[in-house]
Amino acid sequence: MSTNRRSFIRNVALGSGALAAAVPTASEPLHRQPGPAAFNMCGFAAPKLPVVRVGVVGLGMRGPGAVDRLSYIEGVEIKALCDKFPDRVDKAQQILVKKNLPKAKAYSGEEGWKALCESTDIDLVYVTTPWHLHTPISVYAMKNGKHAASEVPAAKTIDECWELVETSEKTRQHMMMLENCCYDFFELLTLNMARNGLFGDIIHAEGAYIHDLSRDYLFNKNAYAEMWRLKENIQNNGSLYPTHGLGPIAQCMNINRGDKFDHLVSMSTNDFTLAALADEMAAKDSFFNEYKDKQYRGNMNTTLIRTNLGKSLMVQHDVSTVRPYSRIHLVSGTKGIAQKWPGPERIAFGHGWAKPEELNKLKEQYTPPIVKHIGEIAKNVGGHGGMDFIMDWRLIDCLRNGLPLDQDVYDAASWSCVFPLSGQSVGNRSKSIDVPDFTRGAWQKNKPHDMTLTGGGNTGVRPVVKSEN
């Protein structure tokens, strides 16, 4: 091969933002073919659990907050704590001690999570580890008779998505992705309004994760253990973290419950900041030398998804440029539209946005029961303004009352699969990529689930003194 041709190929690859080692070519198989569905988990209700015994795995960035929030919920016993690093387990134990709750059994080491999943005194394994462990731990938990709840994304590959689906179906154990943004206050409001037909037929929606993590998190030695999230931005391209923006709008559009994702296209810019920041950091601290001369993920990724019914969604991902935080959250229908970012929160049923007094009336009328029931308490407990606690409370209340969960394994797979599929599209000059139907046709008969209600409503909260996070 001539030098000119090699240079040409290299320039094309860089121009597309492709990470050749991480992205399959168009001719490479993406995944194995799944077998027939063993059981439809949509609408599945597991037997009631009067007390939900929880094991939390991963006590770095997200885990301690989960321990704190769960400790407030009546009917919860935190039976086990696990992290690769024993000192993190010890630190999390103090959350329980300060509340006069029993210490949990401690697990640590590279595979401490396996022993936790194998234990006989746990009903729910709550996973807050680095991304590459989400699927292995969730699958092992279900195979050992536990429900699994995993931080986002639930899976990194299409094979992992199918493994989650097939394991949940075979074991009849819940697998819920902990997409907390579905429980934010405006998102719940718009979902309730959508379910009541105020926006008409929703034909387009937009979501995003635009959050500058570069200096404070990606290149912070004290943030993600062993720099795992920075490494994810070297090893992959595309929409690495799609579900915060995608989950709420997918629910408004009844994805997997009357409609499904059909195909997507994705495009990324080149990287204009991360490699330069790696050089800057390495000049100050030799620790960062290993992160120099790497090909980083493109800064802004835009993914377009078309549904089987001919509707569209746009999802953006950018964690490395200087921009105000945004998840967009735009829901557009034949009768109206709602949008959260840029603020203020807005709703319109014509050419002009509703005036503040009109918006307040809509909020008063359509704020869903779950928010009226637990919303103020959630704000006091904390966790991203309260949405994390609403999510945890709702999960526990459904398990205690034998109710279907708001998010099932098909949602976890469908929302997470945008990660690998967007990478494949970016690596192939934004070619169209089919999205697997993880329900195997059941989306045509599955019914929307009303997560705006309060479940059994009999799950209380221990006294809340002040927000811990």
Which one of 126-135, 450-459, 460-469 scores highest in mean pLDDT? 126-135
Backbone angles phi, psi at 325, to 5 degrees: -60, 140
Look at domain 52-178 and name its CATH class: alpha beta
Please report the pLDDT score of residue 289 as a whole number.
98
Q: What is the pLDDT of residue 452?
A: 63
pLDDT tens, position by position, 62-71: 999 999 999 9
Residue 296 reports pLDDT greater than 50: yes
pLDDT band at 32 (very low <50, low <70, confident <90, very high): low
The confidence score (pLDDT) of residue 14 equals: 39
Name the token pair of 199: 């926006």
Please spell the DSSP secondary structure of 20-73, one letter per residue.
TTTS--TTS--SPPP---SS--TT--PPP-SSEEEEEE--SSSHHHHHHHHHTB
Q: Residue 118: pLDDT above 70?
A: yes
pLDDT of 6 > 50? The answer is no
Question: What is the distance between the alpha carbons of residues 167 and 412, in angstroms, rounded to a whole number?
Answer: 13
- In angstroms, the Cα distances linking 410 to 129, 166, 308, 317, 381 are 21, 10, 16, 22, 30
Residue with tokens 């016993």: 77
Distance CA 422, CA 430 (A): 8
* Average pLDDT estimate for 217-223: 96
Per the listing, tokens 């008409």 go with 200
Q: Which of 262, 438, 467 is nearest to 380 (CA)?
A: 467
- The CATH architecture to which 181-367+405-444 belongs is 2-Layer Sandwich (3.30)
Q: Using 50, 70 and 90 to split pLDDT, how confident is the model at 79?
A: very high
What per-residue confidence (pLDDT) applies to 73?
97
Residue (of 43, 97, 113) closest to 451 by Cα position: 43
**Mean pLDDT to the nearest integer, 150-159:** 98
Task: Give residue 34's pLDDT band: very low, low, confident or very high (50, 70, 90).
Answer: confident
pLDDT of 31 > 90? The answer is no
Q: Are 408 and 176 a contacting pair, CB within 8 Å? A: yes
What is the DSSP secondary-structure string of 335-363? S-EEE-SSSSPEEESSSSBPPHHHHHHHH
- Could you tell me the end-to-end alpha-carbon distance of the chain, in angstroms, rounded to an integer? 58
Residue 410 CA to residue 416 CA, distance in Å, equals 10
The CA-based dihedral angle spanning residues 378, 44, 312, 386, taken in that order and rounded to the nearest 10 degrees: 10
Domains 52-178 and 181-367+405-444 agree in fold: no
- In this predicted structure, the answer to whether residue 20 has a pLDDT above a threshold of 70 is no
pLDDT confidence of residue 458: 78
Is it true that the peptide bond before 24 is cis, omega within 30 degrees of 0?
Answer: no
Distance CA 102, CA 98 (A): 10
Distance of CA 63 to the CA centre of its chain: 15
Structure tokens at 342: 């840029």
Give the start-to-end residue ranges of the domains of the chain: 52-178, 181-367+405-444
**What is the pLDDT at residue 463?**
81
pLDDT, tens digit, for every residue of 333-387?
A: 999 999 999 999 999 999 999 999 999 999 999 999 999 999 999 999 999 999 9
Among all chains, which residue has been given the structure tokens 């998010």?
Answer: 407
User: Mean pLDDT throughout 36-58?
Assistant: 96
* Structure-block tokens of residue 430: 């934004």
Range in 113-122, 245-254, 456-465 with the lowest mean pLDDT = 456-465
The model carries a pTM of 0.92
**b/e per residue, 65-95, with b = 16+ CB within 10 A?**
bbbbbbbbbebbbbbbbbbbeeebbebbbeb
